[in-house]
Amino acid sequence: MPIKIADGLSAKEKLHEEGIFTIDKGLALHQDIRPLRILILNLMPLKKPTELQLLRLLGDSPLQVEVDFCHTDSHESTHTDPSYLEENYYVFDEIKDNYYDGFIITGAPVEQIPFESVDYWPEMKTYFEWAKTHAFSTLHFCWGAQAALYYYYGIEKRLLPAKLFGIFEYQLTQKHHPLLRGFDDRYFIPQSRHTAINDIQVYNTPQLDILSRSVENGINIIGTPDHRRFFVLGHFEYDRRTLEEEYLRDKKKGLPIAVPKNYYPGDNDTKQPYFTWCSYAHLFYHNWLNIVYQETPYDLQAIAKVHPCAH
């Protein structure tokens, strides 16, 4: 089924080139289908690549998906044209009365700053509270996951001795969880972060289920038993070249940056990087959309009456 997005999004043409069908709002109104409504809070400075990466995954579904994007109103973006945001993005006041089947909160390059010192932290807290009654299932990744774990459960983050950068393997701890249906016993996911959560605190939080982990790098995917919240410490959405772009950017700036691990054949950065997580990324988002489709009330306003996650 096609994915329904704003006509002005830069990702639309590229999605068409890749055979992912989009649909405009006028045509969608004439289809006798209630699409899954997904809201994405895009916290990344370069918003257009993140749009394309997420829409590529959400569009690979037999379900019709309607996607809205929003951005923080309390932080002025310096990497995206304000007119583009005005045309294609909402701010909180414009969506606060809406209800969504699913909500995605992205990462952000603020992980080395204390949560309370992030200039848009008060707005993040507003979104976290709003999600309890206006979105059935919320998917948080990377800094978005760290921030939500801290807000809801008091899980602290810590600075790593060195940046976790590359493609890393994790093992399933709940092999039959619907979010991981079809996964192998192990999978790969890109990492690009300087911080990690306190795993011991997660193990001691009964409201949280640990779905995957590794001995070397700790917990990767966490969920709540009612499927209302999922947390991914990593970037399934990254495409083949995303880590390379980050690596070359920092290298050009003269910053201390190592070759991404398990990424280039023989660690040779002149060769095409491996794309070892692609199938897992598509499967992960397919499974999440299926959970949302199966479990969200047909009347979205009924979400407010669903017993919220314990927290």
pLDDT in tens, 1-19: 567 777 778 777 777 777 6
In eight-state DSSP terms, residue 65 is: E
**Structure confidence at residue 168 as a pLDDT band (50, 70, 90):** very high
pLDDT for position 206: 97
Averaged pLDDT of the chain = 92
The label of the residue with tokens 């701890």 reads 173
Distance between CA atoms of 71 and 58, rounded to whole angstroms?
A: 19
> Is there a binding annotation on residue 163?
yes
Q: Is there a contact between 92 and 70 (Cβ–Cβ < 8 Å)?
A: yes
pLDDT digits (tens, 9 = 90+) for 232-289: 999 999 999 999 999 999 999 998 899 999 999 999 999 999 999 999 999 999 999 9
C-alpha triplet 175, 145, 311: angle, nearest 5°: 85
Angle, helices 143-153 vs 121-134, to 10°: value is 80
pLDDT for position 13: 76
Query: What residues does 138 pair with on adjacent strands?
Result: 103, 229
pLDDT for position 3: 72
Distance between CA atoms of 295 and 5, rounded to whole angstroms?
A: 23
**End-to-end CA, the chain:** 36
Mean pLDDT of 56-63: 90
pLDDT at residue 32 tops 60: no
Q: What percent of the chain has pLDDT over 90?
A: 79
- Within 10 angstroms of residue 297's Cβ, the number of other Cβ atoms is 14
pLDDT at residue 54 tops 80: yes
Least confident of 28-32, 133-137, 198-202, 212-216: 28-32
Q: What residue spans define the domains of the chain?
A: 3-159+197-237+285-305
Mean pLDDT of 183-188: 98
Least confident of 104-118, 127-141, 294-308: 294-308
Catalytic residue, chosen from 142, 177, 227, 309, is 142
Catalytic residue, chosen from 177, 235, 286, 309, is 235
> Is there a binding annotation on residue 61?
no
Q: Is there a contact between 20 and 83 (Cβ–Cβ < 8 Å)?
A: no
Examine the residue annotation and report whether 70 is marked as an active-site residue of this protein: no
Examine the residue annotation and report whether 142 is marked as an active-site residue of this protein: yes
pLDDT at residue 177 tops 90: yes
pLDDT for position 7: 74
Least confident of 32-36, 46-50, 129-133: 32-36
pLDDT at residue 115 tops 90: yes
According to CATH, the topology of domain 3-159+197-237+285-305 is Rossmann fold (3.40.50)
**Structure confidence at residue 30 as a pLDDT band (50, 70, 90):** very low
Catalytic residue, chosen from 66, 111, 123, 237, is 237
